[in-house]
Amino acid sequence: MKRKRAGEVMDLVWQTPANPPEPRDYIFRNGRRHVRPYYFEFIAHVKNRWAGKTIVDLFAEEFKGRPYEYYVNAVGCGRIQVDGEMVPVSYIVKPSQKISHFLHRGCRHEPPVMAWGVPVLQKEPDVVTVCKPASIPVHPCGQYRKNTVVGILQAEHGLAPLFPVHRLDRLVSGLLILARNAPKADLFRQQIEANLVQKQYIAKVVGEFPEDEVKDSAKGKTACTKFTRISSNGTYSIVLCKPITGRTHQIRVHLQYLGHPIANDVLYLSAETVDWSSKGSSADRSALVSDASLRPSFDEEVLHKSEGDSNDDFSIDPMCTNCPNLAPKGYDGLEEGLWLHCFRYAGPGWTYECPYPDWAKLS
């Protein structure tokens, strides 16, 4: 598709969910992996409650980020289409129709992640296991699409399709199991749902954790976790965490409830538990998951070269609210990785493991 800008004809390549990530999509700067900005076709299907509205009213009411006049113009020039066709502004939408919104005058900018590769631990006919770095989401979600474990594995290892068997929060590192076909993924999930799979994590927590095994269910809730101290230096402890059931942030919540929150977990730390300013822990807080055997797969020379480059690495769109910056508007920095690491999953007849990160070694 082409459009004119200041007298020139531009070729725009629209990115849709079907476009696979490629190595050239990534730019490495200052230790971060950025995604080259791209034009995007946002796709939605008409919900029942949308049916009967004009295409313009639908967008103006449901997507309030742009003025009404924009949507009138977008429909009129074909930036908004229904079932792949241009329609008049008075067009009444019907249930299940496909609506495409082509952002002709705006780039899609994804948040950066740490500029590490995604090391492949094991590659089998039906299964791939990797060590997920902290800061990278597992699969497309929110603003992330190419800056994901699944996207990077497809771009840099040619691995696709992949079906994540379990989830790890974006700031958590460690073992990630991905099935290479849907039947294998279903088998894993059935085993997990039947409580036939044992999961083990390690965490670096505040204080000297008790020597005896601790079992916590946070005030009687359905989630349960067993904790065992591996080591301690009095200030921090390395704790083995075995979640018996699964809930969002389960390990983090239970460790906080026990009075030993993860030592760099800003969400669950309290002033009574630790005072970062008085304990001088800024160096600890910046120490991300960085096992020497799991270092980035990108070329350091390319990284250093790109760090000194200008924004000529990508085509700047003067109508884009994010350009010339690579990061999206409003992005205020990169969150550090949690000191929480998944290192083992075991089920009927199988076990997968991931090496410990450097922060697990207490001096």
d(CA 139, CA 152): 10
pLDDT at residue 151 tops 90: yes
- Taking residues 299-325, report their average pLDDT: 54
**Are the C-beta atoms of residues 258 and 78 closer than 8 Å to each other?**
no
- Taking residues 17-38, report their average pLDDT: 87
- The pLDDT value recorded for residue 125 is 97
Give SS3 for 201.
strand
**Please, what is the average pLDDT of the chain?**
81
- DSSP E strand stretches across the chain: 2-5, 8-11, 14-15, 26-29, 32-35, 39-45, 80-82, 98-102, 113-114, 120-123, 127-132, 163-164, 173-179, 198-206, 214-216, 225-232, 236-243, 340-347, 350-353
pLDDT at residue 322 tops 80: no
Q: Angle at the Cα of 149 (from 145 to 151), degrees rounded to 5? A: 45
Q: Angle at the Cα of 99 (from 93 to 103), degrees rounded to 5? A: 135
pLDDT at residue 308 tops 90: no
d(CA 283, CA 293): 22
- pTM, two decimals, is 0.74
- The pLDDT value recorded for residue 205 is 97
- The pLDDT value recorded for residue 313 is 56
Q: Matching CATH topology for 2-102 and 113-293+336-360?
A: no
- Taking residues 311-333, report their average pLDDT: 71
Count other Cβ atoms within 10 Å, centred on residue 344: 17
- The pLDDT value recorded for residue 18 is 61
- The pLDDT value recorded for residue 221 is 56
**Are the C-beta atoms of residues 78 and 87 closer than 8 Å to each other?**
no
Which residues does 126 contact at the CB level (< 8 Å), separation at least 6? 179, 180, 181, 184
Q: Which two tokens stand for residue 48?
A: 């029942």
Bridge-based pairing of strands 14-15 and 39-45 is parallel
User: Where do the domains of the chain lie?
Assistant: 2-102, 113-293+336-360
> Among the listed ranges 171-175, 292-296, 309-313, which one has the minimum average pLDDT value?
292-296
Over the stretch 92-112, which tens digit does the pLDDT of each residue have? 999 999 999 887 545 778 899
CATH superfamily of 113-293+336-360: Pseudouridine synthase (3.30.2350.10)
pLDDT > 90 in the chain, percent: 57
Centroid of chain to Cα 298: 19
pLDDT at residue 120 tops 80: yes
d(CA 260, CA 254): 9
d(CA 115, CA 31): 5
- The pLDDT value recorded for residue 301 is 30
- The pLDDT value recorded for residue 294 is 36
pLDDT > 70 in the chain, percent: 77
Q: For residues 54 and 73, which has the higher predicted lDDT (pLDDT)?
A: 54
- The pLDDT value recorded for residue 15 is 62
**Are the C-beta atoms of residues 176 and 152 closer than 8 Å to each other?**
no
- The pLDDT value recorded for residue 306 is 39
d(CA 35, CA 58): 31
- The pLDDT value recorded for residue 312 is 52
- The pLDDT value recorded for residue 206 is 96
- The pLDDT value recorded for residue 335 is 67
Give SS3 for 217.
coil
Please choose, from the candidates 230, 235, 226, 228, the residue with its C-alpha nearest in 3D space to the C-alpha of residue 208. 235
**Are the C-beta atoms of residues 17 and 101 closer than 8 Å to each other?**
no
Confidence category of residue 332, pLDDT binned at 50, 70, 90: low
Q: Angle at the Cα of 310 (from 309 to 314), degrees rounded to 5? A: 105
The domain made up of 2-102 has a fold known as 3.10.290
Over the stretch 240-291, which tens digit does the pLDDT of each residue have? 999 987 676 889 999 999 999 999 998 888 754 544 333 333 323 333 333 3
pLDDT at residue 235 tops 60: yes
d(CA 240, CA 169): 18
d(CA 163, CA 186): 9
The rounded radius of gyration (Å) of the Cα atoms in the chain is 24
> Among the listed ranges 35-39, 119-123, 221-225, 300-304, which one has the minimum average pLDDT value?
300-304
Over the stretch 340-352, which tens digit does the pLDDT of each residue have? 999 999 999 999 9
Give SS3 for 250.
helix
Confidence category of residue 17, pLDDT binned at 50, 70, 90: low
Would you please indicate which residues are annotated as catalytic (active-site) residues?
169
Confidence category of residue 178, pLDDT binned at 50, 70, 90: very high
Confidence category of residue 307, pLDDT binned at 50, 70, 90: very low
- The pLDDT value recorded for residue 293 is 33
